[in-house]
Amino acid sequence: MCIGMPMQVVGVEPGHALCKGRGERRRVNTALVGAVAPGDWLLVFLGDARERIDAARAAEVNTALDLVLGAMQGARADTDAGFELPSRMSTEQLRQLAG
């Protein structure tokens, strides 16, 4: 399984972006998202930017990743995620989320 990681662009090269996120710095292929600029947020999968996201979405994904990491380390799952988790959504809300 591949998990996307939000990363913020700090530098740009032809076809690539230098990004930072979750304590890492990476050179990311931007062929699928087009031109980027410093400050942009990207959802990165295995070194490739797959989607442009905004800062709010980056924060949501980071929170979800923190919850997963905590669960893997044995932490209790009673922390408020700060946004509506799919497990708490109605069927209609899930349909809207899925498009």
- Domains of the chain in start order, with CATH, are 5-98 (2.30.30.140)
Q: What is the pLDDT of residues 39-97, one digit of tens each?
A: 999 999 999 999 999 999 999 888 888 888 877 777 665 656 556 666 677 888 777 77
- Distance CA(81)–CA(67), nearest Å, equals 8
Choice between 30 and 66, residue whose per-residue pLDDT is larger:
30
Tell me the two tokens of residue 55.
């800062």
Choice between 17 and 91, residue whose per-residue pLDDT is larger:
17
Instruction: Give this prediction's pTM.
Output: 0.73
- Distance CA(5)–CA(57), nearest Å, equals 11
The pLDDT value recorded for residue 1 is 56
- Distance CA(29)–CA(13), nearest Å, equals 10
Average pLDDT over residues 23-38: 96
